[in-house]
Structure formats: C-alpha cells, structure tokens
Structure 1
C-alpha cells in the first residue's frame, strides 16, 4: 500500500509524505513519554470538606507521603459544601490528566447518591477509582447512666423496658447516622436518631446526658472515654481496632457479620490514562504499607488499606446499592 502511494507521488509530494510520517511518529512517541514523566508539575488533591476534620487530616497525611515518594508537590485544597458534593464535582469535571485528584469519603460517594436527586456527578462513571487509603472504625458510645455496657445488653434493655434510646450523629445522612440505622435494623433496638451539625456537638450532649448514645469516630470520643465521661459499647468494624483493642466489635456482641467502618479513598477524573493511574496506585501502595504509616494512622483512629483499582471500583458500586436498602427501609430523606 505505502509502496503504491510513493510510486504515484511526485518528489515534492514524497518529501511532504515523509515529513508527515515523521510528525505522526513523534506524536505516537509523545503520549507514552508524557505518562512516563508524570508527574512533572504540582498535583492538586481536593478534600471536599473543611479543614481539621478526618477527611482533611487523612488527605494531608496521604498527600505528604505521596509527594515525597513521587518527588513532586501535592497541594491540598479544601472545597467544602453540600456534604462533599461541591469538591467532588470539581474533580469529576477536571481535566483527566492526573493533576487533579480527590480524597473521597464513602458518605459522598455511596450515600449521597441515595439521598440527593440532583447530584451533579455520577460516582459510578465520572471517576477513575485508584484505591481506598483508610478505613475508620466508628464507635458506639453512651453516657455512663445508660444501663447497658454491650450491644446485647442494649437489645435486652430495649426489649424489656420498651425504652427509646436516642443516638446522635454528625448529621442527617452521615455515616454515624446510617450505621446507627443499620444497627437498629439488624438488632431491633428501639433507637431514635438526633442529628447535629457536627460530631463535636453531639458528643457534648451525650456527655451532659441530653441524649444517651452517639455513633462517631474514635478520635472524637477518645478524650471523653479516657476520663470516664463516656463509655464505649462497641466498634463498627469487623475486627477490633488495634488502637483500642479492649473495645469489642458489634459482630462479637452477637450481630453476625456486622462490618461497617467508614472509608476514604483516592480518585481521579474518569478518562485519566491507565499509565498515570497505575503509577499513582503503585506509589500509594508503597507509602501506605510502611510500619510508620500504620502507626501514624492508628494515632488518627484509622487503618491504612490498599485495594486494586478494580476492587475499589466494585466496592463503590456495591456500597451504593447496599446503603440504598437501608435508606429506603429507614425512610431517610434530606427534606
């Protein structure tokens, strides 16, 4: 084919064809070279919540470790609003080149799709999942006046007394709220959700006895557990948390297979080149599996975790469906 074209071409045409072929060859070589050089400029890591919270702290922890391993600056940018939707949407709409990443939370990726009818992004299709970076066990804590110290005793208390137990969370549709609803569904405990604007406000009311229980992250409740102002009933993870090994799991307390920690993960916009995603995943796996990172995460109340890209993608889809059932059963809306 090429021989026929060259034979029909005049000398000037042959030179133009040769130049065009050379340009095309350069273009073919440029794409893989660009991926091989990634990253050659600073990366933005968007945290879709305000400064100081769990997402922000984990984002800065992971961002600093990745920056060191990649030899490139990672700028953490807080973009709070709409329960994480604003910052997440910014990443979904960003250029798919690996220079804008998202530190996502399960609340935004798998719960919000079941609560917001006008979600501006699709978690199933608008992102390229890289890996979860951490799971954070929640802990069910109670005011010391509550006459139960285990989930089993809470079940007995609810059944025998007919008492409604108030439990707080960081807000309607938060992981603390949904996990409490899951516990209610699985055990039959008569529980009434009381939403707050933050986990800190909810803790204050449990300590003062305004409400009886709270589902929250361990670092939020830790100081009050240490001085006896709260008591820990159980953690929501399938295994005991090494940072608080004396607190049993809900599963240990008789609720078979209960495993509902909160998770955080790293995502890029859909369409980001596989070579870039693979490099980010490989580097992330390296920094998350060091003893130093495990110890640091433990102090934050978290457990580092690494998924394959396909595993993380499948988890997002599965969790959307799983929480949909709980939300429908509990008739939860944001209205």
Structure 2
C-alpha cells in the first residue's frame, strides 16, 4: 500500500509539473522551421505570420530555413525535434502529401509524427513564363508547347514538390511533354526563370507576384476559385478546361508529435488571433495569399485529404521519386 501511495504521489507530481510547464509556456524563443529556401512562398508566409506570432506569445519567433529534398529535410527536422513547443514547423502540400505519396520510405510519417496547429494561409498557383517566351496568352502558350515536345522545360522547388506535381498534372491533362528541372527550393528556381535559364514555372503566387507586377514574368493561368482582382486578365485553369490543375496550395503550422495539448491550444489561439488582424491579412493578401486560421482538427483533416489525393495521382501517373 505504501509503494502504491508513493507511485500515485509521483504521478500526481508529474502531472502538476507538466501542467505548470504548459502554463509557463513560452518562456524562451520559439523556432519555426521552414522546410524550403528563403525567398519562396513558404518562407514569405512564415515570416509574415511569425513576426506577429512572437509578439502575441511574448517571445521572439526565429525562422530557420532548411531546404532540400522538396521540403523533406526540413520536415524530418520538425518531426525529430523535442516536443516541447519550442520547435514548430510549416506544413505544406509538398511536405505532408506529395513527398509521402512519392516516397513510401520517407524518414517521417506525415500523420503520426506531427500535431497540426492550424492552416495559416492558402495561395493560388500560377503558371508563369519569362517575357521572352514566344506566346502572349495561354492559347498561344499551349500551341507552342505542343509543337515542341521535349524542347521546353519547367523549374520547380524539387523533385516531387507541389510545383512538380502541378506540372505533371498539367502535362497529363494537356497531353504535352515538358522537361522537369528541379532546384533546391522555389527561390533558386525563380531566379533562373527570371534570368531566362528555364522556360516556365508552376509557382505559388506570393513568390512570383512582385516579379509579375514589375513585368519580369508573364502570368498565363492561375489555380484559384475565381479570377484575382490583382490579375483580372489572367484566367483560372478551370476556365480554360483544366479543372484538375485548379487546386490552390496551403501553408500550415505543425508541431512534433507528443507536444502537450495545452501548448498546441496556446499556439493555435495566438495564431488564429494573428491571422484575424487586418494588417496581417492585408500583408498576406498583398503577397497573393489568403489568411485561414482554423482548428488543429480541421488542419489535420486537410492534410489527410491532400495525402490521399496525391497518392492517387502518383499511382495514376506512375510518378517515381528520382534523387537529384
């Protein structure tokens, strides 16, 4: 009986200690791992939200970029971090759906190894070309691509990234053949598109928007539910008969598995509050993104739906991961 009472006392002490730790959270800087290189959409969204999130939680939020492997290197680092709430990470369709669908031997499980916090933002995808490309609109673009099978290429943030999958879906939907050129992140890929080293890119709008506005890139179609006010002359993929290519991208916030529920609730509440702030919503909107801010369970459901969709696409198209 004495040992039983001692054990019960120890368990109670641990519960109290754990509760106290959660209540004290955060008491030091928080790291958000962005699984892509600086300059891409994931990085832009993380920095816009992270700046205000730190102020809301009362501790600095430090953005750490870990690019490579189409986001898998950074995602694995998030999964393996201590589940104490001081390391969070950005979830994307690439890290939590495309990569797992392409690579069954991936070093992390997109469902079991993470606790979703919230969906931060959604963004349209956009097909852009260098202004030197010999087509002014999508119709002319498609005609040129069909006349030159295998002679044109498209840049992506990496093999089996979301840009790669959108490109493959586009090829399958149009019966075209375009060479895939993978990079270590959207930023480097975008730089080569701007320099005219590659022909086109299926990018997330925020990282391309400033270049579109400056006339350095030509947008031909967007993946969104309607035309954008900022790009009124650019049709959606659905408008031009490519509904399969018309899905937007999303960027969430996740924590390592076993992160305390109370910590998840605190971070979710703070993030949702930040995403409701007019100045944050406007900064995201100006960058081409739409603030979301939903519950952990809602973001978990989004991840599961997208994972299943990508698994079906990989199987249907016979896509296989190639190490580059």
Same fold by TM-score, threshold 0.5 exceeded?
Answer: yes
Contact persistence 2:223–2:245 (CA under 8 A): yes
Query: What is the correspondence of 1:1-335 to structure 2 with a 5 Å cutoff?
Result: 27-143=14-130, 145-147=133-135, 149-150=137-138, 154=141, 161=147, 166-170=152-156, 171-196=158-183, 199=186, 212-222=199-209, 224-226=211-213, 228=215, 230-256=217-243, 258-328=245-315, 329-335=317-323
Map Cα deviations across residues 133-153 of structure 1 (whole Å, 9 max, x no partner): 122322112355534613x56
**What SS does the aligned partner of 1:250 have?**
coil
Q: CA deviation at 1:258?
A: 4.4
Contact persistence 1:168–1:202 (CA under 8 A): no
Instruction: Tell me the distance in 1 between the aligned counterparts of 2:80 and 2:22.
Output: 21
Contact persistence 1:238–1:258 (CA under 8 A): no
Instruction: Tell me the distance in 1 between the aligned counterparts of 2:296 and 2:95.
Output: 19
Normalised TM-score (structure 2): 0.82
Higher relative contact order (CA 8 A, sep 6+): 2
Instruction: Tell me the distance in 2 between the aligned counterparts of 1:105 and 1:86.
Output: 13
Instruction: Tell me the distance in 1 between the aligned counterparts of 2:73 and 2:129.
Output: 34
Contact persistence 2:36–2:186 (CA under 8 A): no
Normalised TM-score (structure 1): 0.80
Instruction: Tell me the distance in 1 between the aligned counterparts of 2:57 and 2:242.
Output: 43
Structure 1 residues 91 and 204, CA gap change in structure 2 (3 angstroms): closer
Query: 5+ residue gaps in structure 2?
Result: none
RMSD: 3.3
Structure 1 residues 202 and 270, CA gap change in structure 2 (3 angstroms): closer
Contact persistence 1:115–1:334 (CA under 8 A): no
Q: Give 1:10's aligned residue.
A: none
Instruction: Tell me the distance in 2 between the aligned counterparts of 1:99 and 1:201.
Output: 29
Contact persistence 2:155–2:198 (CA under 8 A): no
**Which piece of structure 1 moves more, 166-175 or 205-214?**
205-214
Instruction: Tell me the distance in 2 between the aligned counterparts of 1:191 and 1:327.
Output: 18
